[in-house]
Structure 1
Amino acid sequence: MPHQQPSDSSRTAAPAEGGNALEGARVCVAGLGVSGPPVARALLARGARVVVVDGRDDDTTRAVAAPLTEAGAEVVLGSTPLPEDCDLVVTSPGWRPDSPLLLRAAEAGVEVIGDVELAWRLRPADQVWLAITGTNGKTTTVRMLESILRADGRDALAVGNVGTPIVDAVLPDEDGHVHDVLAVELSSFQLHWSSSVRPHAAVVLNVAPDHLDWHGGLEPYARAKGRVFARGTVRVVNTADAWSARLAEEEGDPHTPVVGLRLDTPRAGELGVVEDLLVDRAFVDDPHGSAEELATLGDVRPAAPHNVANALAAAALARSVGVAPASVGAGLRAFVPEPHRIAHVASVAGVDYVDDSKATNPHAAAASLNSYASVVWIAGGLLKGAEVGELVAGAAARLRGAVLIGADRERVREALAEHAPHVPVVEVEGPEPDAPAGHTVMDAVVARAADLARDGDTVLLAPAAASMDMFTNYPERGRLFAEAVLRLR
C-alpha cells in the first residue's frame, strides 16, 4: 500500500499560527516514546481532550503514562484504537505510515501530523527555524549551529533529536520565555508527517540508503528529506551530494536563494575552503568580487572532510540570519563534539585508536575511512539491508587490515574478498575464553587490531552497521572500545 502523506484536505483541529483551534478538540497521541509525553502535555495546555495510545503495557510504559493520566489525559495501553470523534492524530515519528491506527485515521479523513508539525503550528510567529536534515551529520551540524548562534549573542537552542523536545521549545517556560531561534534537527520520519513547516533556511547534508523499509525505497526516503526545502526557505546545498542538489532544485521554491557548499574554492553564491580558511561568497555584498573569512580549518574539530562540510552548512544557516563572520569561528572553537563521532581515544605504540561507533551505515563509515591514510578497520553488526561493496571498493587502498564482528560480518568479509583481496581479515565472535575479569569482546577486537596495525596506522571503529546484535546501542559499543583501548595502553 502506498505510504500515507499528510493531506491538506484531511479534517484538522490543529490551529493556524497564533490560533487555538485545539481548545476542546479530541486529539489522539500515538505512542509514548520520546516525543509522546511532551506532545500530550502541550495539547493538554491548549485545552485539548487528549487520548494517548500505545501497544505496549509494561512497567516502563505505565510509569511514563501515570503523570499524563494525572494531568488529565486518557491513556490506553496494550492496544491502539482510533478514538471515537477524533479530530487529529499526532504520531510518534517512528510509527510506520501503514500502522493500523494511522490507516484508520486516513480512511476516516482525520489528519495525521507529527510533533514537528504540531510545534510549527504552536510556535510564536516571530520564532525563526533553521533546519538540518540528511542521512549523516545532523546532530553535529545542529550543535555547531547552536554554538555559532550563541557566539553571536543570539537566543538560540538546538532541538529535535538532540535533547530538548521541539514542542517544549516553542512554548513559554515557567518564566514566560521562548527562544528566538531554533536550530532544528529533522529526521525523514518527522518530515514525512510535516505539511506546513517553513524554515527560514534549511540544508540537506547528504542522502544515502537508510530506513528504506520504513519509506518504501530510496526515492520516497529522499523526497521526505526534500520536504525541508519549503516555500520561502533559503536552500543550502551540498554540491558534492547529488541528492542534495537535486532536492533543492525539484522540491524548493525557485524564487528563493540556493547557497552551495564545497570543500574547495567557492563560486559566487557559495561557501567553501581556500587554503586553510572557511570563506563565504554568498552572504556578502558583492558575491562575484569579494569573500568573507569565517574560520580556519583548525577551528573545526575534527577537521575531517565530512566534518568541514558540516561546519560550512552550520555557517551558511547562521549567515542566513545575519550572524557576523567572526562569530562563526568563535562558535566552532567553542563547539564540543558529541561522543563516538571520530573521537580520538589514545595513541599506543605509534598507532592512533579512533571511536566512530556512530558510523552505523555505509555512508557514514565511508566518510570516516576517507579521513585516514592507513586504517585497520573494525566493522560489522546489523547492516539493515545495506550493501557494503561500494564502501569497501572505495576504501580498499587505505585498508591495512580488518577486524569483523557482528551478525552480518560475513557480508563484509565477502565484500573485502571481492574488492580488497590483499587485506588481511580477522573475525571475532566473542571475548577470549581466558579473558581477565571485566574484559569484553572489544578487548579481543582491539587486541586483534593491534596485531594488524603498524606505526602510523589508525585503528578505526566505524562499523557501517547498527549495534543491537551485540551491544545495547552504539554508545555502549564505542564506550567498550575505548575502555579496551585504554586497557591495551
Structure 2
Amino acid sequence: MSDTDLPGTPVSRLDGLTSWHADWSHLRVAVLGLGVTGFAAADTLIELGADVLVVASGAANERAQLLNVIGATLVQSDLSIVPPELQAHQPDLMIVSPGFHPDHLLLTWARAQGIAVWGDIELAWRLRDKVGTPAEWLLVTGTNGKTTTVQLTATMLAAAGHRVAPCGNIGVPVLDAIRDPQGWDVLVVELSSYQLHHLPRTGPGALAPWSSLCLNIADDHLDWHGSAEAYREAKATVYFNTGVACVYNKADAATLRMVENADVQEGARAIGFGLGVPGPSELGIVEGILCDRAFLDDRFERALELTTITELADAGLGAPHVVADVLAASALARSFGVEPETVRAALASFRLDAHRIEVVAVRDGISWVDDSKATNPHAADASLASFDSVVWLVGGLLKGVTVDELVQKHAPRLRGAVILGIDRRAVREAFARHAPLVPVFEVDTDDTEQVMPSAVRLAATVAQHGDVVLLAPAAASMDQFDSYAERGAQFNQAVQQFLER
C-alpha cells in the first residue's frame, strides 16, 4: 500500500517534506526500534523539531538513556500489543527499523489508522540537502557480497580524491552520513532487502541514485518476506530511477531482468559484469586481466585494463566470488569517473574484513579458513567452490531456506562435514539424501563456549594434507552466537588453541 492509498493523514503534508529546510515541527512521529538505525532516526527527527515517540522492546541501554537527553519519549513494550502511549501519540508518520516484519502488529495497526510508514532510507533521501550540495548516491544490494563491494567502491572513490562515505546496512546509518558537518561528494549505500521493501518507487520519497547494483539473487530471508518472489521484488527496487548505470551480474539472469523491468532516467545504461570475456558495455576478464569495455567511447573496439588476477590474489582478493565483487565495484567507480589506474592502485592496498574467507592458520598441509560471513547457501556455495577438498563446518539458523542443493552440488569435494546449530536435523537429512558417503559429525552441545572447540576437534579427525577446514555455515548465527563475527572469532580462537596443544 502506498501513502496515496492511506486515509487519515493528508498525504500532501508529507509530500512537501522533501528537504531539511522544510517545516517538520508540526509532525508527530513514532519510531519503531532502538537499534543503531532507530536511534539515528529519532535523533534526526528531534533535530528537525518533530514530536518523537520511540517504541522498542528490551531493557534500558545507553541509547535509551540518550533519548531523554535529546528530547524523545521512550515506550518499552513487548510489542505484542499496540501500546496505549502509541495510540495516544496519534502519529502522522511512523519510521520503521529494518528488522520489523512487514506484517508486524504495529505496522498493520499503523496502516489501518492511515499512518504513513517510511524506512530510514526514505527519510534520509528527503533530508539529504542538510550540508551544502546533496551527495550523489551509489546503491548496492544483493544476497551476498554487499559489504565487500561497498568497501571496494568507497576505496576506489577515495583514491580518486572524492569525499565518500560507505553507509547504510554496512553499519553507519545513512541518516548519520547525511548530517555529517563535513559533507560528502558521494555516498555508497548498502541496502538490505528489508530496507528496500519500505522504499517507494515513485513520488517524493523515491530514490534517484547516480548508479545502482544488484550483485546476485538467491533465496534468503524468506521467513521475513514470505516468499522468494517478494524477496526478489524488494531487491529490484534498487534500480528504479537510476541516472547513469544499472550494474547487473551476467551470471545471474534475474539481475538483468530487474534492470529491464525498472523505470530509470533517460540515458541510464545497463552495465554487465562477469568472470568471462566482456562485450561492449561490460566488465570482465581476458587472459587473466580485468577489463572495462563499458566506460570508454570506443568500447566496441577496445578495452581498458583495470588489474590482473595475479595482483588480486596477492592482495587476498583472488577467490572467484571476490573477483566478481571487484568487477562490480569497479563498474560503480568507473560510472563516477574514477580512472583505471586509480582503480588498480586502490585494489593493491585493499584488504577484506575479518571472517570473509580469512585464512586462520596452516599446519601440516591443512588450511583453516573462516568464512563465517557466509550466512546463507548462496554465500557458502561461492566459498566452497574456492577450494578442491573441504572439511565443511555447516549449520546454524537457516531462515527458511534449505541446503539440499548445496550439499548435492559440493558432495564430491567434501572430505567430511561437521554440523552446528539449531537446525542440525535439516542439514543432517540433506546429507543423508544427497551425500550419504560423506562422513558427518554433529556438535550437539548447548554451551556456546564449547561449540567451536568441539567442531574443530571433530574436523581434525578427518582432515588430511591438502584439505581446507572451512567455516562457511550457510546459516545465520543468532541461534548460538551474537553475530557472525562472534562465531568467526570463536572459531579462530578454537583453531589456535587446538594447534597449540
TM-score (ref. length: structure 2): 0.90
- Does the residue aligned with 2:199 lie in a helix, a strand or coil? coil
Query: Structure 1 stretch 479-488 or stretch 352-361: which is displaced more?
Result: 479-488
Q: Which residue matches 1:357?
A: 372
Counterpart CA distance in 2 for 1:51 and 1:431 is 39
Distance (whole Å) between structure 2 residues aligned to residue 444 and residue 101 of structure 1? 42
CA 1:422–1:219 in structure 2 vs 1: closer, same or farther (change >3 Å)?
same
Give the 3 Å change call, closer, same or farther, for CA 83–369 of structure 1 in structure 2: farther
Distance 1:420 1:154, change over 3 A: same
Stretches of structure 2 lacking an aligned partner (at least 5 in a row) = 201-205
AA partner of residue 447 (structure 1): R
Task: Indicate the residue corresponding to 1:435 in structure 2.
Answer: none
Cα deviation for residue 467 of structure 1 reads 2.1
The residue type equivalent to 2:389 in the other structure is: S
CA shift in 2, pair 1:6/1:214, >3 Å: farther
The one-letter amino acid of 1:59's match is A
Bigger mean CA offset, 178-187 vs 414-423: 414-423
Structure 1 pair 83–272 and aligned structure 2 pair: CA distance change class (3 A) = farther
SS state of the match for residue 322, structure 2?
helix
Shift of residue 57, structure 1, vs aligned partner:
5.0
Aligned pairs for 1:180-191 within 5 A: 180-191=185-196
Task: Give the whole-Å Cα distance in 2 for the aligned partners of 1:264 and 1:381.
Answer: 34
Distance 1:186-1:8 versus aligned 2 partners, 3 A rule: farther
Q: How does 1:133-152 map to 2 (within 5 A)?
A: 133-152=141-160
Query: Which of 38, 49, 52 is the equivalent residue of 1:50?
Result: 52
Aligned residues: 474
* Per-residue Cα deviation, 1:76-127 (whole angstroms, up to 9, x for no partner): 2226424544221111111122223222222232211111110001002531
Establish whether residue 98 from structure 1 lines up as the match of residue 106 from structure 2: no
**Matching residue within 114, 118, 122 for 2:119:** 114
The amino acid that maps onto 1:39 is A
- Cα deviation 1:210-267 (Å, max 9, x = unaligned): 1112212011111111101112342100011122112111124284210001101101
Residues 89, 112 of structure 1: 8 Å contact kept: yes
Partner in structure 1 of residue 258 of structure 2: 247
In angstroms, what is the RMSD of aligned CA positions?
2.0
Q: What is the Cα deviation at residue 204 of structure 1?
A: 0.6
Match of 1:444 among 454, 457, 467: 454
- The equivalent of 1:384 in structure 2 is 399
Please say if 1:132 is aligned against 2:116: no
Encode CA deviations 1:57-87: one digit per residue, 9 max, x unaligned.
5233xx4222222222222222642454422
Q: Is the 8 A contact 1:82 1:104 kept in 2?
A: no
* Residue type at the aligned position of 2:417: A
Task: Tell me: CA distance 1:82–1:138, structure 2 relative to 1, closer, same or farther (3 Å).
Answer: farther
What letter is aligned with 1:64?
R
Q: Distance between the aligned counterparts of 2:423 and 2:171, measured in 1?
A: 31
Cα distance change on mapping 1:82 and 1:218 into 2, 3 Å: farther
Per the alignment, in what secondary structure is the counterpart of residue 189 of structure 2?
A: strand
How much has 1:468 moved relative to structure 2?
A: 2.6
1:393-412 alignment to 2 at 5 Å?
393-412=408-427
Return the letter of the residue paired with 1:112.
V
Name the counterpart of 1:65. 64
- The 3-state SS of whatever aligns with 1:35 is helix
Taking only the aligned residue pairs, the percentage that are identical comes to 47
Secondary structure of residue in 2 paired with 1:202: strand
* Distance verdict in 2 for CA 1:77–1:203, change over 3 Å: same
Q: CA deviation at 1:431?
A: 9.4
Alignment partners' CA distance in 2, 1:110 and 1:331:
46
Aligned positions of 1:201-212 closer than 5 A: 201-212=211-222
Q: Which residue number in structure 1 is paired with residue 304 of structure 2?
A: 292
Tell me the equivalent position of 2:203. none
How much does 1:19 deviate?
A: 4.2
> In the alignment, is residue 199 of structure 1 matched against residue 209 of structure 2?
yes
Are the counterparts in 2 of residues 265 and 272 from structure 1 also a CA contact under 8 Å?
A: yes
2:74 is matched with 75
The answer as to whether partners of 1:13 and 1:21 remain within 8 angstroms in 2 is no
C-alpha displacement of 1:478:
1.0
Larger displacement relative to structure 2 (286-295 or 243-252): 243-252
Q: Secondary structure at the match of 2:239?
A: coil
CA distance in 2, matches of 1:485, 1:431: 20
**In 2, Cα distance between equivalents of 1:439 and 1:150:** 40
Paired residues of 2:152 and 2:329 also in contact (CA < 8 A): yes
What's the offset of the Cα at 1:6? 4.0
Q: Secondary structure at the match of 1:59?
A: coil
> Where do 1:443-482 residues align within 5 Å?
443-482=453-492
Distance 2:138 2:481 in 1: 34
Partners of 1:265 and 1:236 in 2: CA distance: 16
Alignment match, 1:41 = 43
Q: 2:174 aligns with which of 149, 152, 166?
A: 166
Q: Are 1:198 and 1:228, in contact at CA under 8 Å, matched by a contact in 2?
A: no
In structure 2, what is the equivalent of residue 302 of structure 1? 317
Report the AA paired with residue 251 of structure 1.
Answer: A
For the structure 1 residues 158 and 82, does the alpha-carbon distance in structure 2 shift closer, same or farther, using more than 3 Å as the test?
A: farther
Structure 1 residues 365 and 172: CA distance shift in structure 2, 3 A: closer
CA contact (8 A) 1:357 1:463 kept: yes
Please say if residues 281 and 288 of structure 1, whose CA atoms lie closer than 8 Å, have aligned partners that are also in contact.
Answer: yes
Q: Residue 484 of structure 2 aligns to which amino acid in structure 1?
A: Y
Q: Return the alpha-carbon distance in structure 1 between the equivalents of residues 386 and 343 of structure 2.
A: 23
* Correspondence for 1:369: 384
Aligned partners of 1:235 and 1:252 also within 8 Å? no
Amino acid across the alignment from 1:129: W
Contact 2:53 2:89 (C-alpha < 8 Å) held by counterparts: no
